[in-house]
Amino acid sequence: MKIEARQVESFLKKPDPKVRGVVIYGNDDGLVAERAVTLARSVCEDLKDPFRVVDIAGDVLKQDPARLADEFGALSMMGGRRVIRVRPAGEESVAALENLVEAVAGDALIIVEAGNLTPRSNLRTLAETEASLAALPCYMDNEAALEGLVESAARAQGLSVDPEALDWIVQRLGGDRGQTRGEIDKLLLYKGSDAGKSITLQDAMAVLGDTASIGIDDVIAATFDGEVVALDRALDRVFAEGGNPVQLVRSLQRHADQLHLVSGHVAKGLNLEGALFKARGLPRGGPVRQRFERHLRTWPLPRLNAAVSTILDAEIDCKRTGLPHEAIARRLCLRLSQAARSAKARR
């Protein structure tokens, strides 16, 4: 069966007892690992317990496809339900899972940590269609998921997050859950246990201002302003600091989507203030607001439609072509910057 997004949290805390094995897969390796650990701990809190937790590499199952069914039926010498973790795993694990489905008895929980399985994957199809198996997808967090993650982590420490700080943090976090958790943990460690207090924008900038996403704001500004020379300097600085090209592409997409959303509201008759108010999470004032309004003037809806399509093509290129991601990101920024420069020249 397939675990839907709304079911994930409850399933991780209390998996269906009818499920023998769970295939956790997706393009977010950090989230795959995090959910595998959470699921395993729902059965055995101490994942270093040698009597109740067993690790098996996927390629071992290729040579011994009966291994999973045997482990499923084995009993712990010290009592308690067992966890069998298969990682890394891929298509070589299909036969072993088929044997698990056919096993007569057992109560161990099998957790299979796979990569980004396509809809045609036999492993994914088996997990989605068998009643005793479950498929749990893990894809990179979107903006709403990141907001929820930051707020829930802060709330667990007795803290709240100021709205402008939350906006700033989310814009700088990537989609990978493992990296995101690390950044959030740094922020919470910096803030300490000041229960009842808020994480401010100054707190966030003090901790996350020197992360791999440093300078991305400058890249976005130069790209959508059509400042080619400034763009070149900003890109050099971002990548010299270890910036992630895919994260940069997604930051450009987020900015273009925000511009598109506000422009759409204005086109329907709202004034700018009303459009900005209706579009949640946009800059509230200061230089960032001024820059946003400047970009709205340079990028009307038809041009934004083309920009969004160009950015989407670049992200697809990152996933499919095998070309260096940095080269793809640089080419994208240059194309958008030249479009903005041409638009300004015609005004």
Q: Mean of the pLDDT values across residues 326-347?
A: 90
**Pairwise CA distance, residues 324 & 319, whole Å:** 10
* pLDDT digit string, tens, across residues 263-300: 888 888 888 777 777 766 565 555 667 788 889 989 99
Region 216-346: CATH code? 1.20.272.10
Would the CATH topology of 5-137 be identical to that of 216-346?
Answer: no
Domain ranges of the chain: 5-137, 143-208, 216-346
CA angle, 142 then 146 then 148, to 5°: 120
Region 143-208: CATH code? 1.10.8
**Pairwise CA distance, residues 32 & 26, whole Å:** 7
Query: Which of 4-8, 94-98, 226-230 has maximum average pLDDT?
Result: 94-98
Q: Mean of the pLDDT values across residues 300-329?
A: 91
Task: Return the half-sphere exposure (C-beta side, CA atoms, 13 A cut-off) of residue 196.
Answer: 0
**E strand or H helix at 109:** strand 109-114
Q: Mean of the pLDDT values across residues 23-45?
A: 91
Per-residue burial over 110-126, b if 16 or more Cβ lie within 10 Å, else e, is bbbbbebbeeebebbeb
Residue 244 near residue 216, CB atoms below 8 Å: no
CA angle, 17 then 23 then 29, to 5°: 130
- Give pLDDT, residue 175: 62
pLDDT classification of 194: cutoffs 50, 70, 90: low
Sheet architecture: strand order including 21-25:
53-56, 83-89, 109-114, 21-25, 133-137
- The separation between CA 155 and the C-alpha centre of its own chain, rounded to angstroms, equals 21
Residue 245 near residue 329, CB atoms below 8 Å: yes
Three-state secondary structure string covering 234-251: HHHHHHHCCCCHHHHHHH
Judged against a pLDDT cut of 60, whether residue 31 lies above it is answered with yes
Handedness of CA 290, 292, 295, 301 (dihedral sign): negative
pTM: 0.53
* pLDDT digit string, tens, across residues 210-262: 544 457 888 998 999 999 988 998 898 888 877 889 889 998 998 999 899 88
Kindly report the number of other CB atoms within 10 A of residue 195's CB atom.
8
* pLDDT digit string, tens, across residues 137-190: 987 767 777 888 899 889 988 899 988 788 778 777 766 677 788 888 889 988
**Pairwise CA distance, residues 335 & 228, whole Å:** 10
DSSP 3-state percent helix, strand, coil across the chain (nearest 5):
60, 10, 30
Q: Mean of the pLDDT values across residues 28-32?
A: 83
Residue 154 near residue 199, CB atoms below 8 Å: yes
Region 5-137: CATH code? 3.40.50.300
- Give pLDDT, residue 212: 46
